[in-house]
Chain A
Amino acid sequence: MSDTSTQGIRRPDLSDGRIRRRYAAERRFRFYGMFAVGLAIAMLAVLLVSVCSKGYSAFYRTEIGLDVVLDPAVITPDGKKDADTLANADYQGLVKDTLKNAFPEVTSRADRKLLYALVSNGAGDTIRQAVLSDPSVIGSTKRFWVVAADDIDMLKKGFIKRDVAEAERVVPDSQISWFDKLAANNQIKTTFNSTFLSAGDSREPEQAGVLGALMGSIFTMLVTVLLALPLGVMSAIYLEEFAPKNRLTEIIEVNINNLAAVPSIVFGLLGLAVLLGVFGLPRSAPLVGGMVLALMTLPTIIIATRAALKAVPPSIREAAYGIGASSLQVVTHHVLPLATPGIMTGAIIGLARALGESAPLLMIGMVAFIVDVPHGPTDPATVLPVQIYLWADSPERAFVEKTSAGIMVLLAFLISMNAIAIFVRRRFERRW
């Protein structure tokens, strides 16, 4: 009898084994997720730690204290104290004289050259500034803290090892002994490296700064944002809200999606051929770089904006239409504000990619060695990723820390840019 009842009705299998297996599967699944998140965080931590630990030392530098005799015979040879004379005096010579007098035992030409190489060849600038700001100091003896040469800086920071055989070491024994003597006299100190944040690039590591590239990046991103965001949002709104759905708009849509997948260097070639070649825009300029990156970012922003517009519930549109709002009012008063968080997310992704891009900018000459800090979007400039590449490619040991420090500046820029976007997104975030 029991046969018929069990055969007729199939009941769910409620055995303990099944429940245990289900629980185990859920636990496993959760573990996979946690593992993936943990791995991602660990990778990020490794990256940040390695960059920061290599780069933080670029933010301080070694200075050498020298009691410089501000000899009027050198600074004002013809007795006139006009600005031109003061600006062009041989201050580097004063520094060299001071070193020569401090180490009278150094006599040979070759040794003297090594001795002078203890200080940066920009050391005279420190004195020039002091004299220019107060010409009355001429004739007195003052202690100046001048920037040490990059190799001495590396020695002080411990990146150039003393226990390496002299032949394989950049800093010879003689320089080390002079350095030690200066250190013993408290003539060596470490200070914050303001040059790094206030100067443009230089062949001399101790004089090289990131400001030129930073300003280049800022101008480039400014041009990119001003072009890509309005253009992208407007095209997305038109395509999504107003354009008729037909063959033509379908083709446009497919092409926009394809454009998002085009390798970035192709956009650089386009900029080179069209913007520089046909329109004759200035080479190496953030204006052109920004235009190229805007082209690259446009599809990302259009796609993200269209997705954000699609996600606005149709009930909101209907409600607005129902009261008699025009299509434009529906979009600007209701749909766009509700889509803004999504648009901002797309903009962040697109612009972050543009900020880190170097390949297309190489094509339009933003890889040139540029010492001056740009003052506008048409000045020649380079950008942070290209600057990082240039430094990474330089042979001097001191550029290693500059490379990592450049990455730190780039990351800081990225974070502040994202912070702005997140702030905008928060302001518009609403629930319905």
Chain B
Amino acid sequence: MNAISPSLAKMHGRKVTVHYGPKQALFDVDLDVPERMVTALIGPSGCGKSTFLRCLNRMNDVIDGCKVGGEITLDGQDIYDQKLDVVMLRARIGMVFQKPNPFPKSIYDNVAYGPRIHGMAGTKGELDEIVRSSLEKAGLWNEVKERLDQPGTGLSGGQQQRLCIARAIAVSPEVILMDEPCSALDPIATAKIEELIDELRENFTIVIVTHSMQQAARVSQKTAFFHLGHLIEWGDTEQIFTSPKDERTQGYITGRFG
């Protein structure tokens, strides 16, 4: 495995295990997330890639009976430390979900919600600026600037997902986690999101779970392949897709199973 130097890695996972009740979902996963790159997690359904993603911002805390073991660090700090405030952690690590889930509020309020609860804007003008720049970064501003007071749920699926991305980047997170963000979208909307991910890479560290190997190949610089709860192989995307070391990876990316 081609380990990257610790200074480049934003997040480290060491011997991460996850149990859902009696069932173990992840086995000793060691994975580094390099800064300002897109890391793609691929693998067949139920392989634990989404579970691992949700460990990175402790979204598994919300699930009853879920136990996380091992160590995950953000900038060298253990995120499962008792003293660490999970709310602050999630402000630093944003998340975009599989199904677009805008709040049933206006487009403006969707984006402004995060900055509001984290006290990021002192005045209305500052808040307006955050909303505007977030929507611009998400490539949605030109489509919605005339109707910011309309409900976010009235947008199309692709627009809703970009609204969710705008909502996530409005709180200026350092890492953005994306859990199959395009699986509910049509190819055109998917292309837009992929383009967006490529642009966001300049400012954010991105981890994306995807079912589509083409998507992983298109957007990511690093790829990790999960199978049955184990991390089989990870490294540069090009290397994984052209010369995988493990035959299971080979089998998956060539479509023999999964």
A interface residue numbers (CB < 8 A to B) = 245, 313, 315-326, 329, 333-334, 338, 430-432
Contact = CB atoms under 8 A, between A and B. Distances in A.
Contacts of A321: 59, 62, 90
A315 B167 contact: no
B101 interface: yes
Given A321-B62, A432-B153, 10 more contacts: A313-B101, A319-B101, A319-B102, A319-B164, A323-B95, A324-B89, A325-B117, A431-B153, A432-B102, A432-B104
Contacts, number: 69
A319 B59 CA distance: 10
B97 interface: yes
Given A316-B101, A431-B153, A322 B95 contact: yes
Interface of B: 57, 59, 62, 64, 87-91, 94-97, 99, 101-104, 113-114, 117-118, 151, 153, 164, 167-168, 171
B16 to A, nearest CB: 20
Contacts of A338: 104
A325 B87 contact: yes
Given A245-B64, A432-B153, A322 B103 contact: no
A431 B150 CA distance: 13
B99 A322 contact: no
A356 to B, nearest CB: 35
Contact of A322 (B57, B64, B104, B151): B57
30 contacts: A315-B99, A315-B101, A316-B101, A318-B95, A318-B97, A318-B101, A319-B164, A319-B167, A320-B113, A321-B59, A322-B59, A322-B94, A322-B95, A322-B168, A323-B91, A323-B113, A323-B114, A323-B117, A324-B88, A324-B90, A324-B91, A324-B117, A324-B171, A326-B87, A338-B104, A430-B104, A430-B151, A431-B104, A432-B104, A432-B153
A317 B95 CA distance: 12
A334 B104 CA distance: 9
A318 B95 CA distance: 9
Nearest to A326: B87
Given A334-B103, A432-B153, A323 B94 contact: yes
A317 B59 contact: no
A315 B160 CA distance: 13
A318 B91 contact: no
